[in-house]
Amino acid sequence: MPEMNVQVRWPDGRLQDCYSPSLVMHDHLTAGTDYAVADFVARSRAALHEASERVRSRYGFACTSAMATLDDIERRAAHFADASAMVTVVAMKPALPAVTR
């Protein structure tokens, strides 16, 4: 199962590297996009739960690293009460392969 890292910039300018055991993050977030903090948390929660369940279906147990990443995201997000505060997805690695037509 391929794993990935997502780098985000919080409204205070701090960078965070977020781990996922699955490329499913690409289904929920896009590199170079700004998200309201609450939207970013909701998208991350959905993606990381889905990633953890993929691990469970393959190996028989949930991914504690994905849940630790989610806990960290939720803890950091709690510091930004301003509804207009934005989180930027700086990079997603590995990137999805380019689609050729």
Q: What is the mean pLDDT of residues 93-97?
A: 82
Question: How many domains is the chain built from?
Answer: 1
Q: What are phi and psi of 68, to 5 degrees?
A: -65, -40
* Tokens, residue 86: 């934005």
Residue 98 lies in a domain: no
Q: What are the φ/ψ torsions at residue 90 (nearest 5 degrees)?
A: -75, -50
Taking 80 as the threshold, does the pLDDT of residue 23 lie above it?
Answer: yes
Question: Does the structure show a pLDDT above 70 at 48?
Answer: yes
CB atoms within 10 A of CB 51: 29
In a domain? residue 26: yes
- Scanning the chain, the segments in alpha helix (DSSP H) are 37-59, 64-77
Asked whether the whole model's pTM tops 0.75, one would answer yes
Inside any domain, residue 100:
no
Residue 52: which domain range?
A: 4-93
Q: Is residue 51 part of a domain?
A: yes
For residue 101, tell me if it sits in a domain.
Answer: no
Kindly state whether residue 55 falls inside one of the protein's structural domains: yes
Q: For residue 82, name the pLDDT band (cuts at 50, 70, 90).
A: confident
Mean pLDDT for 29-55 is 96
**Is 99 part of a structural domain of the chain?**
no
Supply the mean pLDDT for the chain: 92
